[in-house]
Chains A and B, each alone.
Chain A
Amino acid sequence: MAKESLTPGEVRDMMLVVADRIIEAEPILTDADRALGDGDHGVGMERGMAAVKEALAGQDFPTVGKVLLSVGRAMMSSMGGASGALFGTLFRAGGKAVGEAAVLTGKELALILKDGTEGVMTRGDAKPGDKTMVDALYPAAEKAGEVADLPVAEALAAIAAAAAAGRDASEGMIATKGRAKTLGENSLGKPDAGAVSVAIILAAMSEYAAT
């Protein structure tokens, strides 16, 4: 049954589904990054999400924020590279944004995505249109602000759709950040690997909330 809100235990279970979906998608992420970067994004995300599973499985968390901080810390310390810093920052900034919240509703989602996206933009010195993970995150955060009053399952469905649209839009952008930037116009026609990961993460969250 589609959920109105999620307890910290449910947020933990949702993040375990996210971890599985990212691990399954490793070949897709590797191919996306090989086209534009150095091809290590898939393996890095797989390693990060394996660490997330280890950090979350069987653990009790008092708040939503603690679950997300744990996810961020696991990714940051296991992945290295730019991806580890950026995805770690996303979840850590998101976790700090909801402080002591005992449930996850559309309102918390909006706060998590707003602060998480701002954290990533600051850390990576990136803005929308640079062909980075921000191109999936930014529209997702904007949508989250619009749907903050909806039940969490409906909100996540709309947010995941916005992220997917952002990922698709990144195909038409020219890279200006990371190792892809030296490709210039040759980066056209392919999505950014980080944006692909963001879309998978939000789709997996939506999948969990809908069932």
Chain B
Amino acid sequence: MKKLINDPLKVADELVEGLVDAYNGECRHVGTRSIVKTHIPENKVALLVGGGSGHEPIYHGLVGRNLADGAACGDIFAAPPPNIVFEATEAVHRGKGVLYLYGNYAGDVMNFDIGAELADDEEIEVRTVLIWDDVCSAPPSQKQNRRGIAGLVPVVKITGAASQSVATLAELEAVAKKAVLQTRSVGVSMSPGSIPATGKPTFEIDPDKIGLGMGIHGEPGVGEIPMATADELSARMLQYIFEDFEKDDEVEPLAAGDEVLLFVNSLGATTMMELLIALRAAKKCLAEKGIQIFDVLVGPLVTCQEMSGISFSLTRLDDELKKYWEMPCQSVCFSKMEGRYGG
């Protein structure tokens, strides 16, 4: 794999440096390796995201206007160490506490938890909401074992919007939890990404097979299936999401008249052409069930280098979540206008 890099061990540091340059003053570099908004109002409840690098635009590309206040950036595919989490926490805190919002991976949980303990020593209140949208990584009864994948984009977008107006950390936590609970994703992979420092593939898969439910680092999912058409695969993927809403006691099944945000994500190498073909198939599946598409998001936002594959995420929106989704937002990598397409 040809990679346009310099020192393989400095990839994470240099990409973050470049991201700060792209933000052009909107965000600044803090401490060891964090990105934080330059202007955060006093008494704002702060939102901190973070995780391993190499999945750009997430997470550090989701810092910005009506989005996250900061991101703690780990090395490539590795959780940020506690000192980085703490440095970012101190930098975003404006007296009203900090919400940690990130994908449910063991390394991230441990390091953010230690970061929260360091923050507690400095009397900064921290609460944590984990994102666990990957329905193929564990059954609904074991959400603590689920991974966070593309669903984190709508969740961070909605929570970032809410963070502009909520009065307390507890209110923001409640919005984030609701968004997480109503967001479910399923992903497939067709070929691996590579580890920038070594050039080695992140996993191996037969050229004629698709990894159904496979995680963004190549973690096993439901199993390998033969290569399929976009329509067949899309219908099968969405079925997992429909079934998950049905099986989970914590939510109502998706029903006719429900309004959802549909997000079609590319893991890196899959083209916009393919995403659009899949989007069209997904729309038919939702229409058959009478589920209304409130808004659509399509593009490579949660990636793993040149990994090929897609994911679908559905977020069921109530009036509160709709209001936050409709707020405009802007970052280097993810911006939207006020309202919704076609609205």
Which residues of A does B touch, CB under 8 Å?
A: 38-40, 43-44, 76-86, 88-89, 123-124, 177-179, 181-183
B194 is an interface residue with CB less than 8 A from chain A: no
B202 is an interface residue with CB less than 8 A from chain A: yes
B50 → chain A, closest Cβ, in Å?
Answer: 11
- Would A80 and B106 be within 8 Å (CB), given that A38-B202, A85-B111 are in contact? no
* Chain B residues, CB < 8 A from A40: 77-78
What 1/0 mask marks residues of chain B from 81 to 124 whose CB sits below 8 Å from any chain A CB? 11110000000000000000000001100110110000000000
* Chain B residues, CB < 8 A from A88: 82, 114
- Would A85 and B137 be within 8 Å (CB), given that A76-B81, A76-B83, A76-B114 are in contact? no
- Would A85 and B110 be within 8 Å (CB), given that A38-B202, A76-B83 are in contact? yes
CB-based contact B77/A38 at 8 Å:
yes
B219 is an interface residue with CB less than 8 A from chain A: yes
* Chain A residues, CB < 8 A from B202: 38
What 1/0 mask marks residues of chain B from 329 to 343 whose CB sits below 8 Å from any chain A CB? 000000000000000
Q: Kindly identify which residue among A77, A85, A89, A182 contacts B107, using a CB–CB cutoff of 8 Å.
A: A85
Q: Kindly identify which residue among A76, A124, A183 contacts B82, using a CB–CB cutoff of 8 Å.
A: A76
* Chain A residues, CB < 8 A from B52: 80-81
Considering the chains assembled together, what is the distance between the CA atoms of A183 and B221 in angstroms?
A: 10
Kindly report which residue of chain A lies nearest to residue B220, judged by CB atoms: A182
* Chain A residues, CB < 8 A from B81: 76-80, 84-85
* Chain A residues, CB < 8 A from B268: none
CB-based contact B106/A177 at 8 Å:
yes
Considering the chains assembled together, what is the distance between the CA atoms of A66 and B77 in angstroms?
A: 32
* Chain A residues, CB < 8 A from B137: 182
B37 is an interface residue with CB less than 8 A from chain A: no
CB-based contact A80/B78 at 8 Å:
yes
Considering the chains assembled together, what is the distance between the CA atoms of A77 and B74 in angstroms?
A: 11
What are 5 inter-chain pairs, A to B, with CB distance below 8 A? A78-B81, A80-B74, A84-B107, A88-B114, A179-B106
B55 is an interface residue with CB less than 8 A from chain A: no
A33 → chain B, closest Cβ, in Å?
Answer: 12
Which residues of B does A touch, CB under 8 Å?
A: 32, 52, 74-75, 77-84, 106-107, 110-111, 113-114, 137, 145, 195, 197, 200, 202, 217-220
Considering the chains assembled together, what is the distance between the CA atoms of A181 and B83 in angstroms?
A: 28
Considering the chains assembled together, what is the distance between the CA atoms of A166 and B39 in angstroms?
A: 52
CB-based contact A81/B74 at 8 Å:
yes
* Chain A residues, CB < 8 A from B83: 76-77
Given contacts A79-B78, A89-B110, A124-B106, 11 further A-B contacts (CB under 8 A): A38-B77, A39-B195, A44-B78, A76-B82, A79-B81, A80-B52, A85-B111, A88-B82, A178-B106, A179-B219, A183-B220
* Chain A residues, CB < 8 A from B79: 80-82, 84-85
- Would A84 and B111 be within 8 Å (CB), given that A44-B78, A76-B83 are in contact? yes
Kindly report which residue of chain B lies nearest to residue A44, judged by CB atoms: B78
Considering the chains assembled together, what is the distance between the CA atoms of A123 and B117 in angstroms?
A: 12
- Would A82 and B107 be within 8 Å (CB), given that A40-B77, A44-B78 are in contact? yes
* Chain A residues, CB < 8 A from B111: 80-81, 84-85
7 tightest Cβ-Cβ pairs between the two chains A and B: A85-B110, A82-B107, A81-B78, A81-B107, A80-B78, A77-B83, A80-B81
B285 → chain A, closest Cβ, in Å?
Answer: 27
